[in-house]
A and B are shown apart, each in its own frame.
Chain A
Amino acid sequence: GAGVSQSPSNKVTEKGKDVELRCDPISGHTALYWYRQSLGQGLEFLIYFQGNSAPDKSGLPSDRFSAERTGGSVSTLTIQRTQQEDSAVYLCASSYPMNTEAFFGQGTRLTVV
């Protein structure tokens, strides 16, 4: 596609439910990033995939968070047993190999009620 695509755009879920957020990167981009942005805050790094290398999961806030990237393309971020503090905008970005420009999707706004 022309840009990074994320779905859904908005997600409202009940506390304790699991959610899956999807990111479809720009074709040919080997690097994929997930960030979280709470209201009025900066971008919090979550996880980074680069090609077939093991992902850098150092930013995941708890073991309730996981992500995978199938076939080096689409990525899914899963949050298990959601909590109210998980409410935020989840942003995905992709780029050619690291140190090059990254482009963002429109984000998924997650609200846990």
Chain B
Amino acid sequence: QKEVEQNSGPLSVPEGAIASLNCTYSDRGSQSFFWYRQYSGKSPELIMFIYSNGDKEDGRFTAQLNKASQYVSLLIRDSQPSDSATYLCAVPQGGKLIFGQGTELSVKP
């Protein structure tokens, strides 16, 4: 089992819809969870972090964490074409920041 797993996609949603991105992790001791966005040819950019079970909202973005299920998700409401990018889940494990393979999101006008 990979340490951090994401569906590679691509995930295609129409403009204005909700995009749901999922991530599972293997280390039950993980305490913090990060979502990065990476546009093509650019570096990853931190967009959300979450430490506690439940939901955390920031504008159109909501991170959801369920430690019992070892599952973290990112919801993007009112998706825009500018949200088209690869979304990377990252989890510190054993001191290292481990990334999932990323999910490519395409928002169609």
A interface with B by C-beta (< 8 Å):
33, 35, 41-43, 45, 48, 50, 56, 58-59, 91, 93, 95, 98-107
How many contacting A-B pairs (Cβ < 8 A)?
Answer: 51
Additional A-B contacts beyond A42-B101, A45-B96, A98-B97 (18; CB < 8 A): A41-B101, A42-B102, A43-B88, A45-B98, A45-B99, A48-B95, A48-B96, A58-B96, A59-B96, A91-B43, A98-B95, A99-B31, A99-B92, A102-B34, A102-B97, A104-B45, A106-B42, A107-B43
How many residues from B make CB contacts under 8 Å with A?
Answer: 21
B interface with A by C-beta (< 8 Å):
31-32, 34, 42-46, 49, 88, 90, 92, 94-102
- Rounded to whole angstroms, the CA-CA distance of A7 and B96 in the bound complex is 23
Chain A residues, Cβ within 8 Å of B101: 41-42
Residue in A closest to B48 when the chains form the complex, CB atoms: A101
